[in-house]
Structure 1
C-alpha cells in the first residue's frame, strides 16, 4: 500500500490534494494484482471520514475499506485509464454502516465493489464511468461462505461502463446476498445495465451445485441507453434460484435505437412493467 491506516478511531482525511500513485509503471510490468499496491488502505477503523481528495493512477484499487464501522466518503475523485487492470475505485469488505456519496469514479474496474462481510451500505450520487459499474461481489470464491446485506444504491449514473448494477457470485459458494436495491439510475451507453450472475466458475469446482443465495433484490427506475442488445441478464442457479427480485420502472433503449432483450434463468420475481420484464419472470426456468 502507498498509504495505510490500521486500528484507528475518528480518522479524518480531508483536502483538495491529489494522490498520484504512478500506476503505469506497474501496469507495464504485467504484475499480478497481489504484487501491486493500493493507494489508500484503511482497516480496523471506526468513525472514518474522507472528503475532497483525488486519487489518480493507482496500481491496483484506489481505496480499500476493511473491517471498519461507520464511514463517510464524499466529494472524492478517482481516476485511472479504462484499460488499467484491477483499478477498482472503492473496495469494501467486512465493514458496516458505510456511506459513499457525491463522487466521480473513472477507472478500469469496478467503481465500487461490495465484498463479503459488508452490511448497511448506502451509495448515492456517484458518477461512474468508464469502469465496470457498482458491484456486489464477487462472492463465494473457492467455496467460501459470503454474507452481504442491506445495500442501497441510488441516484447514480453509469456512463459508458461495462456493467451498471451487478451482483456476481461463484458456483460452489455459500451464504447470502440479500436486501439489495438499485434505484433512480441513469444509463449512458452502458454495456450491461443490469446483471446478476451466479455462474462465476472456479476450474476446480465445475461440478458444484451450491451457490450464494440471492434474495430481496430491487431494480427500480432505470432509464437511458444500452450498448448491448442483451441489456438485462439475470443468470441464476438452477439449484439456488434468485428469489424476490423486483423490476419496476425499467426504461432502457438501445443506443442505436433498437429494442433491447432480457435474458432470464431461474429467477423468481415480479414486475409491473409490460412486455419484456413480465415475460422474463414467467418464462425463465430453462437457459
Structure 2
C-alpha cells in the first residue's frame, strides 16, 4: 500500500495532468494578429498572418473570426499544404469584400482555400461579396468563395450573400460535405450560382436555403457520386447538370442523385443543359421526391444550350453530350 501522502501527491498530479489536457487547446483569433473588424479597414494581411500560424501547426488548428465584428478583405489565398489536420475555421463574425472600385488582385475569386486536407469552415457568420457593383460589369467577375484541391472538406452554417458571380465553387475536391447554408442574391443578379461543383467526387450537399439569380446548384464536368437533398431553391434557375460540352469539350458527369428538394418560383426545376458540338456523357442522373411550385420549366433537358449567345447556336454541330 502507498503512504497517504503519496496517494495525495499522485491524485494531485493526475488532476493537473487532466486539467492541462483540457486547457492546452487554444484557438487563434484573427484580432490577435492585427485585424480591426470595423468593416472599413483592410484586414487582409492580418488574416494571412493568422493563417500562416495555423497552417504551420499552432493553435490546435483552430482559427476564429469573432462574432460582432465585420472584416473587410481584399482577394485572399489561404494556401496549403498544412501541418495541421484538421484545420477548423470558425466564422462567427462577418466577412465583406472590397468594393469593385477598390478591388486589388485576382478577379477570378475573392477567397480561395487551396491544397488543404481536412478543412472545416463553419459558423453563424456572413460572407458578403458586395456583388452589386459588379453585376453590370461585362468583364471578369470573381467567385466569392472557392475551394480547390481540398479533400475531406466540411462547410456548414454560414450565410452567403451577393456574390459578384458564383457564391461557392468546389473544384478538384474529394469527400465534401456542405450543409445548413443560406445563400441569397437578387433574382435579377447575373450568374450568381449558389453552389458550383466541378471535377470533384463524393460530394454531399444538404439542408440549404438558396435564392439567387442563376442555378441554385450546378454540377459541372468531371464530377461523380453527388448527393443533393433537402434543398429549398427559389428564386433561381433550378438544380442543373451542366452546362456541358462548351467549345467542343469532352464532358463527364455521373451518379448524381437529387432528392427531397423544393423548387419555388424558379425558372427551372430539374435541368440538364449541354452545348452543341460537345461530347462525352451525363449518366445515372436521378431526381426524385421533388416539389415544384410555380416553376416555369419543371423538367428540362436542353441539348442546344447557348446561354443567350446566338452566334454559337449553329445547326451544323453533329456531336452532342449523351444524356442517359
Partner of 2:155: 50
Contact 2:304–2:313 (8 Å) recurs in 1: no
1:174-232 CA distances to partner (integer Å, 9 max, x unpaired)?
000000000000011001000011112562853011100011xxxxxxxxxxxxxxxxx
Q: 1:112 aligns with which of 200, 204, 217?
A: 217
Partner of 1:13: 121
Q: 2:205 aligns with which of 92, 96, 100?
A: 100
Secondary structure at 1:35 match in 2: coil
Matches within 5 A, 1:10-159: 10-27=118-135, 30-32=136-138, 35-159=140-264
Q: 1 CA distance for matches of 2:247 and 2:300? A: 22
Cα offset for 1:159?
A: 0.5
1:158-183 CA distances to partner (integer Å, 9 max, x unpaired)?
00000000001011110000000000
Partner of 1:232: none
With structure 2 as the length reference, what TM-score do the two structures score? Answer: 0.64
Alpha carbons of 1:14 and 1:195: their partners in 2 closer, same or farther (altered >3 Å)?
same
Q: 1 CA distance for matches of 2:157 and 2:196? A: 18
Partner of 1:213: 322
Partner of 2:112: 4
Partner of 1:169: 274
Partner of 1:236: none
Instruction: Report the RMSD for the aligned CA atoms in angstroms.
Output: 1.1
Secondary structure at 1:142 match in 2: helix
Larger radius of gyration: 2
Contact 1:172–1:205 (8 Å) recurs in 2: no
More helix by share: 2
Secondary structure at 1:2 match in 2: strand
The count of aligned residue pairs is 212
Q: 1 CA distance for matches of 2:180 and 2:163? A: 18
Cα offset for 1:50?
A: 0.4
Secondary structure at 1:9 match in 2: coil
Q: 1 CA distance for matches of 2:144 and 2:190? A: 14
Contact 1:135–1:167 (8 Å) recurs in 2: yes
The unaligned stretches of length 5 or more in structure 2 are 1-108
Secondary structure at 2:164 match in 1: coil
With structure 1 as the length reference, what TM-score do the two structures score? Answer: 0.72
Further displaced range: 197-206 or 76-85: 197-206
